[in-house]
Amino acid sequence: MAADSPSLPTTQDSIDESRGLFSEILAGQGRILTLIAAGHHISRVLDEFCGVVEASMPGTRCCVMMFNPAERSLSLGAGPRLPSGFRSMLEGLSVGLAPGSCSAAVHRDEPVISADIENDSLWEGFREKALEHGLKACWSVPIRSLKWAEGPDEEDQVRVLGTVAFYHDSPREAEATDLELLEIAATLAGLALMSLKVHEKVEEQDLYDVLTSLPNRRLFTQELRNTVSGMSPHEDKLGVLLLDIDHFKEVNDTFGYAVGDFLLRSVAERLATSRKGADLVARFGDDEFIFMVTDFTSNDHFREIATEILATVSEPHDFSGQQLVITASLGASLYPWDGEDAQTLMRNGENALQAAKRQGRNRLRLYAPTMGVNAFEKLQLKMALSYAAENNELELLFQPKVASDTGEIIGAEALTYWNHPGQGRLSPGRFIPLAEETGLILPIGTWILNAACHQAKAWRSAGFRDFTVAVNISPHQFRERTFVDTVATILERVSLEPEALELEITETVAMTEVEKTMERLTDLRALGLTISIDDFGTGYSSLAYLKRFPIHILKIDRSFVSNLPGDKDNRAITKAVIALAQHLDLLLVAEGVETIEQADFLAREGCQYLQGYYFSMPISSRDFTQILSAGIGKEPGKSFVNKPRIIQR
C-alpha cells in the first residue's frame, strides 16, 4: 500500500548508514553543480545526478520525470539503469490519471511511497511490467521550483517541475532518514531542472526580438536555410522580402526613442497579425523586417502580397491620440532565380531594398543582377575608408565666405575630400554618409577638426587675425559624450584662439533632445567658439528654442537661394529668415550663391555673408592663401557686377 509519511523507529546503525549516504550525495552534488555551471545538456546533468543517487544508495535505480504543465503529462528526463522496456512506458504519462508513484506525487504535490508495488493499488495497470523487470518498490518525491518560496513571476507559476523516483529490487519501506535523502535529491534535481528553464529562456531570447517579440535575424536565417535546403529549383519557388521603415532615424531624432519603439512594436504587431501571405515574419535589424513567402502563384501575385504589406505599414498608427503616418521601402529576391541558398537570397533582397530607397522610398524593387555592383562598390569604399586618414588620403578644401558689403573674405568653410587611390578625388557626399553609417565618422571627424584648426592657426599667424574656419559637425560627433573635451584638447594643442573656429550643426540635430543640445551648445560657447545652425529652414525649428540656443549664425539653406530673386516664395522665405536673424541679433550666411543676381539681392536685403560657386569652388589651402594675400574686395555700396569672381569654375 502507499504510505505518505512513514515514521518508523531508527537504530544507531541506520543513523550511521544515513550519515554515510548524506555525505556521499553531498560530495556528488559538487559534480552536478559543476556540470550545471558549465552549461552541459540537461540529459548529461540528469544522468550524472542519477549516478550520484545510485552510488549513495546501492540497489537503487533512480529516474527523473519532467512535468509538462500545459499537457499535464510526464516525460522521462533520465533513468540510465531502468530497463529499456520499462522506460518506454514512462513517456507521456498523464498526471493524476496514470498509474504509478510519479504521477501521484505530481498530482498531490507530496512524496508518494510505494513500499510494495505488488500490493499497491496505485500500480494497477503497471504492476506486471514493473515486476517483470524486477522493480518491487518505488519512492517518488516532487521536484519543486526553487523560485516558489520567493514568490514567482506571473509567467512562472509552475510549482512542481517533476519527480525523483527511487526504484528498489525488493519491497522496502522508507524511513525518516530516507525521506530526508529524497528531499535532498529533489532539491539537487530542482537545480538541474531550473538550469534547463533558464537555458530555454536564454535560447528564446537569443532567437526572438525583445522589443517586438518577433523572431530575430538568427531564427529567420535558420528557418530560411532549412526551408531552401528542402526545395527543388525545378519545382519550388520562394520569395524573400526586406522592409525598411522610411526616415525612421528622423522619427527618433524628432520625436524621441519612445515614439520610435512604439512604431516598431505597432508595425511588428500588424505584420505578425496580417502576415499577408508570408510564412514567417522577423525583425531583421533596427528598422528592418524580413518575410519568407512561399504561398504565391506567380510573380504578379508576389507583387500583390508586397503591395499589401506596404499598405498595411502605411495605415495611421495611433500614439496617445496622435496619428502617425509612415511609409516603407521593400526589396525582394526570388528563389531560385536570384539565389539558391539563404545567404544569397537575403543579400540580394538587401540590394533590392537599397535600390528602392535610392529611387525615392515608399516603393517595391525586385532584385536585378546590376544591383549587386553598387553594393560591392560600397563595400570596397567602406574598407578603403577605414585606412584613408592613416594613408594621408583625406584633404581639406576651403570655400570662402564673403562679406556682402565689402566683398572681403572673412572666413572659410572646411570641406573634406577623399583622394581615393583608384577613383580619384571623391566629394563629401560620396563618402561622408558611409562614414556615418559605419561609425568611422568619429575618427574622421576628429581628423577634420584637428586639420582645420592647424590651418586656421597658420592663417592667423600669417596676419589674417580675424579669419575664421567653419567645420561641419556630424550628428554622431555632436552626441559623443567626450565631444566638448575633444574640441578643447585640440584647441589647446594647436594653440588656436577659440574664436577662430566655427562649428556648424544642422537644424535637425539642434532640435533633437533639445535640453541636451542646449547643454552641449552652452559648453561649446563657454570655450569661446562660434556656433552656427546649418541648412536653416529645412528642419523643424521651434522659435522659442532657437531664441534660447547660444548660437551666433544662421545659414540659409541653398534650396532657398537657388531660384532667387525670381521665385516669389523663395524671396518671401529669405526675407523672413533675414528679418528673424536681425530680430534675434544673429548673423546670417547664404549658401549656394551662384549668380550675380542672387548676390546682389541678398546683399540689398541685409544678409551679411555670402558663400557659393559665384565666388569660388572649394580650393586648396595653398590657393586660398594666395587669394587672401591678394586682398580681393569691392567698393562699399557697389554691385558685384564689376568684381571678378575669385576662382573661375
* The pLDDT of residue 274 is above 80: no
Report helix, strand or coil for 572. helix
Report helix, strand or coil for 531. strand
Q: pTM of this prediction?
A: 0.47
Helices (H) and strands (E) in the chain, counts: 23, 23
Strand partners for 68: 73
| Same domain as 197, residue 295 | no
* The pLDDT of residue 148 is above 50: no
The average pLDDT across 13-41 equals 61
Find cell 522665405 and name the residue: 573
What is 190-225 written as a DSSP string?
HHHHHHHHHHHHHHHHHHB-TTT-SB-HHHHHHHHH
| Same domain as 417, residue 356 | no
Provide the residue type at 565 as one letter.
P
The number of domains in the chain is 3
Pairing relation of β-strands 112-114 and 93-94? Answer: unpaired
* Distance from C-alpha of 195 to C-alpha of 283, rounded to nearest angstrom: 28
| Same domain as 252, residue 327 | yes
Boundary residue ending a domain (184, 206, 228): 206
Q: What is the pLDDT of residue 202?
A: 52
pLDDT in tens, 420-442: 888 788 888 778 877 887 788 89
* Distance from C-alpha of 178 to C-alpha of 185, rounded to nearest angstrom: 10
- Domain presence at residue 378: no
Which of the residue ranges 76-90, 255-269, 352-366, 535-549 would you say has the lowest mean pLDDT? 535-549
| CA 558, chain centre distance (Å) | 35
Provide the residue type at 637 as one letter.
G
- Domain presence at residue 134: yes
Boundary residue ending a domain (369, 404, 424): 369
- Domain presence at residue 639: no
pLDDT in tens, 450-459: 999 999 999 9
- Domain presence at residue 647: no
Work out the end-to-end distance of the chain between its first and last CA atoms, rounded to an integer number of angstroms: 105
List of residues 6+ apart from 289 with CB closer than 8 A: 214, 242, 243, 267, 268, 271, 281, 282, 283
pLDDT in tens, 537-586: 655 455 656 677 888 888 888 878 877 888 887 788 888 888 888 888 88
Provide the residue type at 449 as one letter.
L
- Domain presence at residue 314: yes
Q: Minimal CA–CA distance to 308: which of 288, 293, 318, 287?
A: 293
φ and ψ of 64, to 5 deg: -120, 125
Strand partners for 468: 411
Boundary residue ending a domain (309, 334, 369): 369
| Same domain as 41, residue 175 | yes
Q: Minimal CA–CA distance to 551: which of 599, 517, 577?
A: 517
**DSSP conformation class of 148:** G
CATH of the domain at 365: 3.30.70.270
The average pLDDT across 631-636 equals 57
| CA 125, chain centre distance (Å) | 56
What is 381-446 written as a DSSP string?
HHHHHTTTTTTT-EEEEEEEEEETTT--EEEEEEEEEEEETTTEEE-HHHHHHHHHHHTTHHHHHH
Task: Let me know: does 592 contact 558? Beta carbons within 8 Å.
Answer: yes
Preceding peptide of 565 cis, ω within 30°: yes
List of residues 6+ apart from 583 with CB closer than 8 A: none
pLDDT in tens, 279-319: 889 998 888 999 999 888 888 888 889 989 998 998 899 88
* The pLDDT of residue 376 is above 90: no
List of residues 6+ apart from 172 with CB closer than 8 A: 115, 136, 137
- Domain presence at residue 591: yes
Which of the residue ranges 190-194, 340-344, 399-403 would you say has the lowest mean pLDDT? 190-194
| Same domain as 223, residue 196 | no
Q: Where are the alpha helices (DSSP H) in 531-595?
A: 543-548, 558-561, 568-583
* Distance from C-alpha of 266 to C-alpha of 308, rounded to nearest angstrom: 16
* Distance from C-alpha of 383 to C-alpha of 422, rounded to nearest angstrom: 13
| Same domain as 455, residue 354 | no
| Same domain as 532, residue 420 | yes
Neighbours of 422 (CB within 10 A): 7
CATH of the domain at 591: 3.20.20.450
The average pLDDT across 213-226 equals 88
- Domain presence at residue 194: yes
Element spanning 477, H or E: helix 475-479
* The pLDDT of residue 155 is above 60: no
* Distance from C-alpha of 427 to C-alpha of 194, rounded to nearest angstrom: 59
- Domain presence at residue 641: no
CATH of the domain at 198: 3.30.450.40
Find cell 502563384 and name the residue: 297
Task: Let me know: does 170 contact 124? Beta carbons within 8 Å.
Answer: no
| Same domain as 291, residue 251 | yes
What is 600-618 written as a DSSP string?
HHHHHHT--EE-STTT---
* Distance from C-alpha of 458 to C-alpha of 425, rounded to nearest angstrom: 25
| Same domain as 417, residue 335 | no
Which domain covers residue 625, as residue numbers?
396-630
Q: Minimal CA–CA distance to 143: which of 112, 188, 179, 209?
A: 188
| Same domain as 350, residue 424 | no
| Same domain as 412, residue 289 | no
| Same domain as 273, residue 401 | no
